């Protein structure tokens, strides 16, 4: 009978061992266990993807991307794992600033399609569970907007819709009301012959500033938000938020001049002045709170998931944090975090990276959500700014930090800036300068068409000429080519978006440390779950680090989860945490084992301590051995 006891015990032991061998860490049942929906709102760990419509996908062969092209390409975003996509302006516009000069805030620009095309896009997005975010441009309209035409004509209802002023007399000559300079060079005031007054334009001349001290303007723009919410959009990216208010005129109805920056000698340059009266005015914060109230009211009335605001602000950190809200009012869910753009450059060491990340996390108010932005249509591409060999490591960083991540189209491929000649330059920021200095101002290089394939026009269009030239490297760098390479930028990006669904990366605590001058580490940990480490060797030297010296309670070994082409390691390999060697520009993500085993009952996820597993196995073995003995 003893042999039967041993046989039963051996059988159970073998069953246990087989489960151990089935996966490297038997105490974790699923690699990507999403956090329960009740714990997080959809946007809090969202992967947001910016589409610049002119350059994403052309469906009708005119050389300009459009809504039907976007709709046909949404399955690609689903393939990536994107939560929501923000579309740069698609509204009726004379295109003086490529859509940021809006003539009608509730119409679709014919160059992009029709309202029926937009509604079809919304239908496809809903089927794929991809949320659509629109660009909201509140600071200004086009001078071809009906509101401006009526305001210029002096119609009582619209007379004060914009910022008008008769100017000031200097030595008998009429001059602009102040010395304010446009972001796009030159005076921020333009004379209107019909009205015989100056109007303010903080951007191009064809973009007159709206007057938000007029309650009618505020309500008109609130109705713009309501219109698109009713169409099914899930929120708005707010353009140029800091510029919405300017200092009010004094008791004599005069505007103050802004002080000089002595180190800038070109009076037409935006940097010539210290912008203390034209940006970051206190009223702007409260206006964002008003817009949030419009969205919350709609959500309460219509139900469904929360609608959100993403605010574009390059303001000082203390001001940016106010956009989140205060003790009595909610603000933008995600004021954009541009620190990885503004504070990091090619020479930044690991300590600078750590300080930049912690700057946001330590300033952020309690119970708010962080976000991480690497690029957009106004900034040089990350591959050109920080190096193609850092693209993967930067995506690893933003994907494993807490909160939302925001990507600009093509960054997932490592697309680079494209040199654009003066003859091909179309960006007004550059065109308002001259051929000798335009490259300092142009944003065309980061706006070139998306690279889908090695076919004609990079698969973007079949036009004889596209609105901007195609990148010369499109045959070597495109979606089709990278899909077939396991360690391409594209496939690593897809892995990262899938990995973000893991509970630890959604809910876990965060530690960010420079292990030395070259190596940055991000630890994410969560009770009763796996611990993750993201490790970045920023420079060109080989580095050996002892992870246990920097982080408490690490196991002697950890398992590799994501690698890049820089690494000799493979997914599934075990690393020694006391002596890990990182090759030049190598980045990887590793994880440790949980002390719990994940199992499911009645459709719910449960956690069982590993030790208890073995005790239960022992009890079952003992019970079966006694049953066999007494039979």
Secondary structure in 3-state letters for 482-544: HHCCCCCHHHHHHHHHHHCCCHHHHHCEEEEEECCCCEEEEEEECCCCCCEEEEEECCCCCEE
Q: What is the pLDDT of residues 294-343, one digit of tens each?
A: 999 999 999 999 999 999 999 999 999 999 999 999 999 999 999 999 99
pLDDT grade, residue 39 (50/70/90)?
Answer: confident
The pLDDT of residue 68 is above 60: yes
Q: What is the pLDDT of residues 547-563, one digit of tens each?
A: 999 998 899 999 999 99
Quick one: DSSP state of residue 471?
Answer: P
Q: What is the pLDDT of residues 251-285, one digit of tens each?
A: 999 999 999 999 999 999 999 999 999 999 999 99
Q: Give CA torsion, residues 98, 101, 107, 110, to 10 deg.
A: -30
**Backbone dihedral region of 614: left (phi > 0), alpha (psi from -120 to 50 degrees) or beta?**
alpha
322 C-beta neighbours (distance < 10 Å), count: 21
The pLDDT of residue 587 is above 70: yes
The pLDDT of residue 35 is above 70: no
pLDDT grade, residue 625 (50/70/90)?
Answer: low
- Percent above pLDDT 70 for the chain: 88
pLDDT grade, residue 375 (50/70/90)?
Answer: very high
Quick one: DSSP state of residue 261?
Answer: -
Q: What is the pLDDT of residues 389-438, one digit of tens each?
A: 999 999 999 999 999 999 999 999 999 999 999 999 999 999 999 999 99
- Percent above pLDDT 90 for the chain: 87
| Mean pLDDT for the stretch of residues 344-357 | 98
Q: What is the pLDDT of residues 40-51, one digit of tens each?
A: 999 999 999 999
Residues taking part in catalysis: 239, 312
The pLDDT of residue 628 is above 80: no
CA distances from 512 to 307, 398, 520 (A): 31, 12, 8
Distance CA 574, CA 565 (A): 18
Looking at every residue in the chain, the average pLDDT score rounds to 90
Distance CA 287, CA 322 (A): 12
């Amino acid at each position: 009978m003893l042999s039967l006891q041993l046989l039963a015990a051996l059988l159970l032991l073998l069953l246990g061992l087989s489960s151990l061998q089935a996966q490297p860490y038997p105490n974790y049942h699923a690699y990507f266990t999403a956090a329960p929906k009740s714990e997080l709102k959809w946007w809090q760990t969202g992967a947001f993807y910016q589409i610049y419509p002119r350059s994403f996908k052309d469906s009708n062969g005119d050389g300009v991307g459009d809504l039907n092209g976007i709709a046909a390409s949404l399955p690609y975003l689903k393939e990536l794992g994107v939560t929501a996509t923000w579309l740069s302006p698609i509204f009726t516009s004379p295109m003086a600033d490529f859509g940021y000069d809006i003539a009608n805030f509730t119409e679709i620009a014919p160059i992009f399609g029709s309202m029926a095309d937009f509604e079809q896009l919304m239908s496809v997005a809903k089927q794929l569970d991809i949320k659509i975010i629109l660009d909201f441009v509140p600071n200004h309209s086009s001078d071809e907007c009906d509101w401006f035409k009526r305001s210029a004509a002096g119609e009582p209802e619209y007379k004060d819709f914009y910022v008008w002023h008769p100017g000031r007399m200097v030595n008998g000559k009429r001059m602009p009301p102040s010395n304010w300079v446009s972001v796009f060079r030159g005076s921020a005031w333009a004379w209107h012959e019909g009205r015989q007054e100056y109007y303010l334009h903080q951007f191009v001349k064809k973009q007159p500033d709206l007057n938000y001290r007029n309650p009618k303007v505020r309500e008109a723009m609130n109705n713009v938000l309501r219109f698109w919410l009713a169409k099914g959009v899930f929120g708005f990216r707010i353009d140029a938020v800091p510029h919405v208010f300017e200092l009010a005129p004094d008791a004599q109805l005069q505007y103050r001049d802004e002080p000089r920056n002595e180190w800038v000698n070109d009076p037409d340059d935006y940097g010539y002045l210290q912008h203390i009266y034209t940006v970051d005015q206190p009223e702007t914060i409260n206006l964002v709170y008003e817009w949030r109230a419009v969205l919350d009211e709609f959500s309460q009335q219509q139900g469904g998931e929360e609608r959100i605001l993403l605010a574009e602000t390059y303001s000082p950190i203390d001001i940016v944090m106010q956009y989140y809200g205060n003790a009595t009012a909610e603000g933008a869910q995600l004021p954009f975090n541009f620190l990885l753009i503004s504070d990091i450059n090619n020479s930044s060491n690991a300590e600078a990276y750590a300080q930049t990340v912690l700057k946001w996390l330590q300033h952020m108010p309690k119970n708010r959500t962080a976000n991480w932005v690497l690029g957009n249509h106004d900034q040089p591409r990350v591959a050109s700014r920080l190096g193609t060999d850092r693209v993967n490591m930067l995506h690893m960083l933003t994907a494993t930090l807490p909160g939302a991540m925001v990507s600009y189209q093509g960054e997932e491929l490592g697309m680079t800036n494209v040199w654009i000649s003066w003859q091909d330059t179309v960006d007004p920021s550059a065109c308002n300068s001259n051929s000798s200095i335009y490259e300092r101002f142009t944003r065309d290089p980061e706006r070139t068409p998306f690279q889908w394939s090695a076919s004609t026009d990079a698969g973007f269009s079949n036009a004889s000429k596209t609105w901007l030239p195609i990148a010369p490297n499109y045959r070597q760098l495109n979606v089709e080519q990278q899909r077939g390479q396991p360690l391409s930028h594209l496939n690593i990006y897809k892995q990262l978006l899938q990995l973000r669904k893991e509970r630890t990366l959604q809910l876990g605590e965060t530690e960010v440390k420079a292990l030395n001058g070259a190596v940055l580490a991000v630890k994410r940990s969560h009770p009763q779950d796996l611990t993750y480490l993201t490790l970045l060797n920023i420079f060109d030297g080989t580095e050996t680090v002892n992870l246990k010296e920097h982080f408490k309670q690490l196991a002697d070994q950890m398992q590799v989860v994501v690698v890049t082409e820089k690494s000799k390691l493979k997914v599934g390999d075990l690393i020694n945490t006391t002596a890990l060697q990182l090759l030049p520009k190598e980045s990887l993500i590793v994880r440790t084992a949980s002390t719990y085993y994940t199992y499911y009952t009645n459709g719910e996820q449960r956690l069982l301590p590993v030790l208890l597993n073995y005790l239960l196995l022992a009890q079952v073995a003992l019970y079966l051995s006694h049953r066999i003995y007494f039979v």
